[in-house]
Amino acid sequence: MGVSYTKIIGAASVAAIVGIVALHSPVSAAPASFTWTGSAGDHKMSTAGNWKEGQVPTEGSKLVFKCVEGSTANNYNIEIQNDLTVALSGLEVKKLDSLPDSKLCARYNIDKMRFTSDAEFTGDHTSSDSKDKYKTPRVYVTGAVTGLSSLKSNGFDGGFDSKPTISHFEVTNAGCDSISYYVRAAEKIVGENAYVSLDGANSILVKNKGQLEISSYNTETSSSKITFENGAMISHGIGCQGGGGGAAASSATTVLSGDIVLNGDVEYRLASNITLKITGKLSGPGKLVAHKDNEGTVLVESSNNTSGTPNGQYGNAHEAKTIQLDGDKPDEFVTVKKGETVLLNGSRSEVSVDEGGVFGGDATVKSLYVSGVVAPGNSPGKITVLENFALQNTGVYKAEILNKDHYDQIVAHDVYLNGSLDLTYLAGGVIKKGDTFTIVSNNGTNPVQGTFKDLPEGAEVTVSGATFKISYVGGDGNDVVLTAQNDSKAPKAPNTGGEKLSVNLIGAIAGVASAAALLFVTKRKSLSKK
């Protein structure tokens, strides 16, 4: 006896429903991502109560870390113990837009991580703007990183202290805190708002609005094959160093000896002490173009050049210009670039004087780092430095003296000297033997660090018939003081014949082109990288 059609249809319907339920039931499906809360308080990843989902991450999961306000109690650090045995597919960081501007996200420190071979990091850190930088958490792996072979990163903020070596690395939207600093890879691809270094790479692709980072601190040579797309850039990295045109530690040259392909025009922005030399094969229709703020030099000495940029030397000509800054802006940073004379009559925060730049005026600044020329006052005058005054190796302090009551002075809390002193005895000046001139008044308790070049303690310097003895323990015990060794009267015009070159501030402004010949050196970094 056959089965009725109705029964067959009914049975089939039940089976279909059961199948649908079985396939789509959320009960057995593990979440694709897990969001850390740390609610359990034991800092362990294996504790379900530390995850928003109430479950422990599974094989191939992605971990999400949200911005929470850091506290001084834990030094903005949240320590996490990874006691899981699973491999994770990636990390994600989430911004907190409501975080007050005066606050910072806490930093997550994970002791170790195991990833799948192809991992992906994502997040909301999509620009170098402080709104992203400070409102997006950073995630750092402080110990071993295993399993990882290929990594894609977009908008992520964090890194690996162990700096693992992988085969493939692709990064975009990392801003000035690029994860690329923490990864070595044979193949690198960099896109918008991110940069990669030459370190460890066999091949590099720099896409539109991506940057190849050139070291501003070290001489380096790379045989990497580098391909530039139209709109790519060569610089010192993004953001925190002013886009690449900032100060550097000393003269440095980067040599590119591998194949270089210019598929479009590529801008370069280098500090004045930096030389980029291309010696390998150079091809492609594109050209190397100086950024408007470039200060460095590009030498194209290609062994096989078929590109749009012929062999030769390239860079920007820096026309002398004077910039007058008035008023008080104590939070504003100032960089005096090659070819610029900046006269400040007011207050600013940190001032950095690049090689070839001149800084003067009656100014008050928080810190002053000089690789070019500092010439206090408006003939003569005083510059007050609330914290550090550092005269770098190529820096020059141009000090004018008229008489014991009128001369240039720098007042600072901490003093570091490694550059040169250049005295000018102003026309009509009268000095008597025994007159003292405190050209650097150290109002801190620390002794002066270093001396002027070729002027050790007790050395003598003569300018326009006046002889001075220098001391770095003068005044109240830690000032730089010049003591006149003879009576003298300055001639009507400074005599620079066979003596030290003496240029007053007006002369420095008129002849800033000669100041541009000074060697460049940086302020820090640092104060840095990343």
* CB neighbours of residue 303 within 10 Å: 11
Residue 503 covered by a domain: yes
* pLDDT at residue 36, rounded to an integer: 97
Q: Answer yes or no: do 430 and 483 share one domain.
A: yes
* pLDDT at residue 101, rounded to an integer: 76
Q: Answer yes or no: do 76 and 210 share one domain.
A: no
Residue 9 covered by a domain: no
Residues of the chain below pLDDT 70: 1-30, 71-75, 127-132, 176-177, 237-250, 317-319, 493-530
Rounded CA-CA distance 316/327 in Å is 31
Q: Answer yes or no: do 509 and 367 share one domain.
A: yes
Q: Answer yes or no: do 487 and 463 share one domain.
A: yes
Q: Answer yes or no: do 510 and 369 share one domain.
A: yes
Residue 526 covered by a domain: no
Structure tokens that stand for 396 in this block:
């020059």
Q: Please give the residue range of the domain that contains residue 400.
A: 321-515
Contacts 24+ apart (CB under 8 A), 178-187: 178/237, 178/238, 178/530, 179/121, 179/153, 180/213, 181/529, 181/530, 183/151, 183/159, 185/151
Residue 528 covered by a domain: no
Identify the helix (H) or strand (E) that includes residue 194.
strand 194-196
Rounded CA-CA distance 289/265 in Å is 7
Nearest Cα to Cα of residue 303 among 278, 281, 277: 281
